[in-house]
Amino acid sequence: MADDTTGPLLRTPLHAQHVAAGARMVPFAGYDMPVQYPTGVLTEHNWTREHAGLFDVSHMGQCFVVGPDWETTARALETIVPADILNLKPGQQRYSQLLAADGGILDDLMITRCAAAGQEGSAYLVVNAGCKDADYAHIGARLPAGVTLQVEPDLALIAIQGPEAADVMEDLVPGISATTFMTSVAAEPGGVLIRASRSGYTGEDGFEISVHARDAADLWQRLTADGRVKPIGLGARDSLRLEAGLCLYGHDIDTTTSPIEAGLNWSIQKRRRTEGGFPGAERVQKELAEGTSRLRVGLLPDGRAPAREGTVIKAADGQPIGTVTSGGFGPTVNGPVAMGYVNRRFAEPGTPVLLEVRGKDLPAKVVTMPFAPHRYFRG
């Protein structure tokens, strides 16, 4: 999970906590980030599936789009993303993408309609770490007069994920466990202001918690003091999201892929599919109507050898039909899992394929994702 960042690395407000806990730190998206703690990736992965894992995701970008009222703000955002923003209820969150004019994905992001008094015309956005500066420039340049972008560099972001996450949060904020998937609430546990959304990147139930940087270490320590909670690094975050069938920007989606090729049709609501009005709408509408030449699929290799990113996918006759975009060992599955793009003629679940691993063609099959069931709390 390391990258090739050059130059001085940035640190999140929780850097000292990771170092004190014995984390192995690596460069990631320009930050010095924990890839694993002393117990290792496998233990961290399984702990999150069984209890509650705590993730520092403060490298992500947080900002607000602010207008005079919700309709003005929502319609401004709908000129940039394909999701239905106008019909979000206060506190409701939605996943979407920033699209280029040709329908390629510039980044994916989360958008929440603010519910607090005085924020009726505001949307809260979380964007990917490696794209955030470009995202801010892209969004800011496309907002109409009267709607502004407010970047929030002094906010930290913590995610607590797993079947015991809601009980842990309930002890911290009584009543918060009633919050449902993809909704957000504000609270002040111990006088610390937080915004907590019932969402995450693991397939498990849990919360993502935005908190001021100055309060992040205190909140982290309060959560890790609970015996049900352990800190989790980027390594397990990646294996968890892969088992959940979730895209990683720059790998499974990028400027060469459209939301439809990526199987993200569900993130574009009916009104937007019909009306368009967002960048790349012509391509998206055409692909919805006619299909695409390739599709993102899940892949389950036979045997124990993992197929990593870049692995060539072949038809049973040896003809190349696609490429793996994410792959590795799935601890919950107890075997290798992967995802990638294949010619749509080979995208049907159950289709036998070959994966070229270290010069050998290893058998695999196309499968429906997720590899591990989602356990979101929908009420």
For 27-48, what is each residue's pLDDT tens digit? Answer: 999 999 999 999 999 999 999 9
Distance between the two ends of the chain, CA-based, in angstroms? 34
Query: Do the beta carbons of residue 60 and residue 16 sit within 8 Å?
Result: no
Q: Does CATH place domain 1-291 in 3.30.1360.120?
A: yes
* Lowest-pLDDT range of 5-14, 85-94, 213-222, 249-258: 5-14
Give the pairing type, strands 352-357 and 335-343: unpaired
- The class (CATH top level) of 293-367 is mainly beta
- Distance (Å, rounded) from C-alpha 225 to C-alpha 227? 6
- Distance (Å, rounded) from C-alpha 288 to C-alpha 113? 27
Q: Hey, where are the domains in the chain?
A: 1-291, 293-367
Q: What is the pLDDT of residues 80-103, one digit of tens each?
A: 999 999 999 999 999 999 999 999
- Distance (Å, rounded) from C-alpha 33 to C-alpha 24? 8
Length of the chain: 379
- Distance (Å, rounded) from C-alpha 222 to C-alpha 11? 21
Q: Can you tell me whether residue 178 is helix, strand or coil?
A: helix
What tokens appear for 130 in the block?
Answer: 């490696």
Residue-level pLDDT at 345: 98
Strand partners, 117: none
Residue-level pLDDT at 5: 52
- Percentage of residues in the chain having pLDDT higher than 90: 98
Residue-level pLDDT at 86: 98
Taking each helix axis as running N to C, give the angle between helix 234-243 and helix 41-50, from 0 to 180 degrees, rounded to the nearest 10: 60
* Per-residue CA distances from 364 to 183, 251, 321, 339, 358 (Å): 38, 21, 13, 11, 15
If you average pLDDT over every residue of the chain, what do you get? 97
User: Can you state the percent helix, strand and coil of the chain, rounding each to 5?
Assistant: 25, 30, 40
Task: Tell me the torsion sign for CA atoms 197, 198, 199, 202.
Answer: positive
Residue-level pLDDT at 362: 98
Q: What is the pLDDT of residues 342-373, one digit of tens each?
A: 999 999 999 999 999 999 999 999 999 999 99
Query: Do the beta carbons of residue 212 and residue 154 sit within 8 Å?
Result: yes
Residue-level pLDDT at 7: 76
